[in-house]
Amino acid sequence: MVSKRIPIKTLQQIPAFRNFNETECRQLVDIAQEKAFAPGEKVVEQGKSSQNLWILLEGQCEVVKESQRDGAVVLATLEAFNLFGEMSFFSPAPHSANVLAKTPVKLLCISRTDYDDMIHEGVGAAYKLAYNVVENVANRLRRMDEWVAALTAGGEHFNPAEKLPEWRRFRDKLFDGWNL
């Protein structure tokens, strides 16, 4: 479990805990585990399944997508208070990318099992967390939709290979506002 020494003011700066009161912050922190990783360590492994929601408290992580065609592609650099793992947390599927510690990191880890217990008990903090995470994912998807629409506006002669620099900018834009 997480030590109670994380100040409420710090917890309330975390976008995933937006609009939480002190009691709600503590309810989530009480089920979370604090974990540390050294630079280069994998926090999340692409293709593996785990249902954990991770919140970066200190340090930096990189989201890296491995593909046979392009090799390793860095999709994003995550900073303090960013979250990750939300897709596999809410939908039991393999992770779509690796998340590696770029620097020494300290993270909060919320397991789906503990989260489900909160849902079954009707704890409001669990619902607020889900709302904030869904809002984050919706904003990311909206940015992606707008960019794809603008990029493909060229009509039937659209050739992605000709637009490679734009596709790279798309990736940067998509993950620029990685968190809430």
Each residue's pLDDT tens digit, 116-135: 999 999 999 999 999 999 99
pTM score of the predicted model: 0.79
CA 162 to each of CA 74, 159, 165, 172: distance values in angstroms, whole numbers, following the listed order: 21, 6, 8, 18
Cα gap 148→125, rounded to integer Å: 35
Q: Is 1.10.3720.10 the CATH classification of the domain at 8-176?
A: no
Residue 180: its pLDDT value, please?
A: 40
Domain ranges, ordered by start, for the chain: 8-176
Cα gap 28→11, rounded to integer Å: 10
